[in-house]
Structure 1
Amino acid sequence: MNRINTFKDAIAYFESFILSSNQYTKNFRFLKLDRTYNLLKLLGNPHQEYPIIHITGTSGKGSTSMMAAAILQEAGYKVGLHTSPHLQKVTERYLINQQLMSNDVLIQYCNKLKKIIDWIIENDIENKPSYFEILVCLAFLYFADYHVDWAVIEVGMGGRFDSTNVCNSRVSVITNIGLDHTKVLGDTIKKIVTEKMMIIKPNTLAVTGVNQPSALKIVRDYAVSVNTKLLELNQDFSVNNYKLINDKNIFNYKNGKFSFDKLELSLCGQYQAYNASLAITTVLALKDPKINERIIRQALNQIYFPGRMEQLKLFGKNIIMDGAHNPMKMQALSNTLVKLFPKQKMPIFFCAKYDKDMTAMIKNLLPIASEFIITSFSALIDSGKNVMASKENIYKAIRKIDKNIKISKIDMQQIPDIIKSLKNDNIIITGSLYFIGEVRNVLRLSWHSHN
């Protein structure tokens, strides 16, 4: 076996397993759990060594995961957090008590996995794992080796056939349902919720913020069929008296005997208050005496999650970066910006994946846009290469809706100079999370670059 000695070589090895973008959409049958189960078995089934909270949803699953992990950590637990995709470095996917995996540790795990994967390729080619499957198994192994007390695992896409769905979670969370990844998950709310709800395990607990009556009924019926108690937003718990003060969310939370007034959340946006309510309900459902109001308040007040309504002061400007990569997220972003900056229009840097509903995303941005500054780049991501929409296609999508708004086409490397040249104090950077990651690279920001 050729040993991996550098971080760059480790990344290249992992990326050699990335499928073509067509394999996910043209051959849905490729999505199955057999390969993940097989690799985990050869690793000693590390995913069975600690309790897990499993979180899916069209929007908010990353933020909800981050908040649930933060509360558990504040309560004194050692918590592993798996999220995807990463913005800048693959090690962002593996946090233990908010600390990124180091480059050296990633190299060590790359070699551990490579030894087994080489054997699979030579002796059991049908079970050759994909890039995402390998990275998920790495998370389970890493958390087991470092003896976490809890792991919070964010789904990559969907639920039923997502590689993370090999875990036997104590609590499953479905944040909400919208139309995204429709080529894989289905083109209706009913089809998508049917995929996502399959993370719910028998005889456990589930929490949901799904609000469409028909979709909620499907989740309810499934929970009953597997004897799992379902806690519902606006039925079993609620958020009210929401206010946005000094870039912080202030809200009241109610859940049976629990009533927490004027909770402060460092993540901005009303939708983050709803995400927080899901996280709070999830950890309270554990009935752990270590988790109380004081712990919850402290955790929520110091959350930091790059690329999610992230505000930075750069070049004398207030920069807001948010990976609002589908229409649901973009509507939430737009609503928040209207509250933050009433009656203001701002320049918007925008780039999205080619398979997104750009028309709906752009329509949501137009009420707050003074101009669009668009770009594109070549990205190698979990599901293929060159998946970003071209500048020309983005331009056409905007012009189809608005014939007059100013549109500038730029290269990624021009972003710092363009920001400096703009006269506006507030600047928005949004679209794909991959775009946010590339922008952070261009601006030379690290994971911990925040005010």
Structure 2
Amino acid sequence: MTDAPQAARPAQTFDEVEDALLSRWPETKLEPSLDRIEAFTELLGDPQRSFRSIHLTGTNGKTSTSRMIETLLRALDLRTGRFTSPHLERMSERISIDGEPMDDEAFVRAFNDVAPYTHLVDADQEHPLSFFETIVGMAYAAFADAPVDAAVVEVGMGGSWDATNVIDADVAVVLPIAVDHAKYLGEDAPTIALEKAGIIKAGSVAVLAEQTPEVATVLLARAVEVGATVVREGVEFGVAARTPAVGGQMISLQGLRGRYDDVFLPLYGAHQAQNAAVALAAVESFGTGALDEDLVRAAFAEVTSPGRLEIIRRSPTIVLDAAHNPHGAEAVAAALEDSFAFSPLVGVMGVMEDKDHEGVLNVLEPHLAYLVCTQNSSPRSMSASALGRAAVEIFGEDRVSVVPDLSDAIERAATLAEAGEAIEVSIGAGAVLVTGSVVTVGEARAMLKGRR
């Protein structure tokens, strides 16, 4: 153990905070332990114990469901904090208070509040605090400082040893579990479920989305082990009915304490209706009792989920979706069939090297007339040419092109979508789907927002 270094001067700008955080261990470098985050939060006065919380894990749907839960809690006049990851465009999106991401000034202040303690942990631990551990500490301290009545917290990866898991949440939400991050979490869904089940704590309510029987067995065993109450989609709650509608869908939800009909959800796809049912059950389990039907309708009508089947531009229509694994791609494919009649639909895809890109390509192939392979700015991005080679094996040479620059790739796809006959499709409601990675979608979103 060495003497703690002198604390650096406080950060002055958002860019300085971003640089300081990014200089730490990246999110992709993991050392499975809660030792550092526990030491950090202890130095901060264990801020995570000063508010009640709802903790979410699962393979896909965490951010959308978190946003729905937060909207419902705010409709109940509760002050909320929300922690989600990764961010689409700006790092400060990860920490929201009262439904709004921190502005630059608040983000700098949150960093400076915890920065002196990061050096103490670095000096005392075998490994320094990571980027993710540091931003979790920032979020919990900011929530305590606000103070919030309830925090909605999404795990970064896994569950048991995820840095967010220093909270003992009142409600643990487990969204559908499939294989992702296999290198860190395991090669099959039941193994991954064992890790994710770690957010279910003694005395909590476990809200379980529909799972495969093997995964459900693992989750139920954990709930029995710690004495948690369990509520399950398809048993105690669920989607009673849904109909695609202009701008989203009309849904009926069977909650734990009542049924809510004629609910407009301005998001697309059956998976988002299921996320809404889970969000409703989570809020009911939080101790709010039966919810007023009009309150539920008003809250869901306000829900947004950027980068999740988000229409960002018209003429031609450009849809963004951050699907980055086969499970997510299947949800997108089903929603495209369910809610849209695009012809042709041209894909723009940029993926991370460690993801199952072949699985995603196979799922989307029947739904895309053509695919433009590209890459994002992350050093973890698979090269456009490597993705193109994989895509040709699945789509055929005549349906794939490689355009490494993301902006150029989107322009190429938009041109193809507008001139459907160029790819032997009659001119119709052509559209572009940008997908493959949260980073790709975030960068596309930043580019396209300025052009609308």
Is TM > 0.5 for Structure 1 vs Structure 2? yes
Correspondence for 2:408 among 399, 406, 414 = 414
What are structure 1's unaligned runs of at least 5 residues?
A: 25-29, 380-385
CA distance in 1, matches of 2:450, 2:86: 17
Alpha-carbon distance change, 103 to 396 in structure 1, aligned in 2, over 3 angstroms: same
Question: Where do 1:251-262 residues align within 5 Å?
Answer: 251-262=251-262
Q: Is the 8 A contact 2:27 2:130 kept in 1?
A: no
Matched position secondary structure for 1:330: helix
State the SS of the aligned residue for 1:116. Answer: helix
1:282-317 Cα offsets, whole Å, 9 max, x none, are 111223258422221111111112101111234x22
Structure 2 contact 171–204 (Cα < 8 Å) conserved: yes
Consecutive unaligned residues in structure 2, runs of 5 or more: 1-7, 419-429
Partner Cα distance (1:309, 1:427) in 2: 11
Shift of residue 102, structure 1, vs aligned partner: 1.0
Q: Does 1:32 align with 2:39?
A: no
Within 2, Cα distance between the matches of 1:163 and 1:79? 20
Judge conservation of contact 1:72–1:291 (CA < 8 Å) in 2.
no
- 2:155 pairs with 1:148: no
Task: State TM-score, norm by structure 2.
Answer: 0.92
Closer, same or farther in 2 for the Cα pair 1:94/1:445, shift >3 Å? farther
Q: Which residue of structure 1 lines up, in the alignment, with residue 423 of structure 2? A: none
Pairs within 5 Å for 1:97-246: 97-121=98-122, 123-126=123-126, 128-246=128-246
User: What residue in structure 2 maps to residue 81 of structure 1?
Assistant: 82
Q: CA RMSD in A?
A: 1.9
Tell whether the 8 Å contact from 2:324 to 2:437 is kept in structure 1 after alignment. yes
Corresponding residue of 2:24: 17
Q: Secondary structure at the match of 2:126?
A: helix
The C-alpha deviation readout for 1:314-354, integer Å capped at 9, x for no partner, is 4x221110101110010110111112234733111111111
Between stretches 176-185 and 214-223, larger displacement belongs to 214-223
Q: Is the 8 A contact 1:58 1:177 kept in 2?
A: yes
Distance 2:220 2:154 in 1: 21
Shift of the 374–167 alpha-carbon distance from structure 1 to 2, 3 Å rule, reads same
Aligned mates of 2:220, 2:331 — CA distance in 1: 26
The residue correspondences of 1:264-343 to structure 2 (distance < 5 A) are 264-288=264-288, 291-314=291-314, 316-342=315-341
The offset of 1:441, in angstroms, is: 2.4
Provide the identity percentage: 29
Query: Aligned with 2:363: secondary structure?
Result: helix
SS of structure 2 residue aligned to 1:443: helix
Find the aligned partners of 1:399 and 1:104 in 2 and give their Cα distance: 47
1:313–1:319 contact (8 Å) kept in structure 2? yes
Q: Which amino acid aligns with 2:288?
A: D
Whole-Å Cα distance in 2 between the matches of residues 311 and 261 of structure 1?
26
Q: Which residue of 2 aligns with 1:49?
A: 50
| Compared CA separation, residues 173 and 71, structure 1 to 2 (3 A) | same
TM-score normalized with structure 1 length: 0.92
Give the Cα separation in 1 of the matches to 2:66 and 2:256. Answer: 23
The amino acid across from 2:325 in the alignment is N
Aligned partner of residue 126 in structure 1, secondary structure: coil
| Residues 20 and 437 (structure 1), Cα distance of their counterparts in 2 relative to 1, 3 Å cut | closer
Q: Is the 8 A contact 1:46 1:140 kept in 2?
A: yes
Q: What residue in structure 1 maps to residue 355 of structure 2?
A: 356
Superposed CA deviations along residues 127-161 of structure 1, whole A, max 9, x for unmatched, are 52100000111110111111111100001111011
Counterpart residue type for residue 388 of structure 2:
Y
**Cα offset for 1:266?**
0.9
Q: Which amino acid aligns with 2:166?
A: V
Q: Which moved more, 1:196-205 or 1:407-416?
A: 407-416
Q: Aligned residue for 1:437?
A: 442
> 1:337-381 CA deviation, whole Å, 9 max, x = no partner?
1122347331111111111111111111111211111111331xx
Q: How many positions carry a matched residue from both structures?
A: 433
Structure 1 residue 175: Cα displacement: 0.7
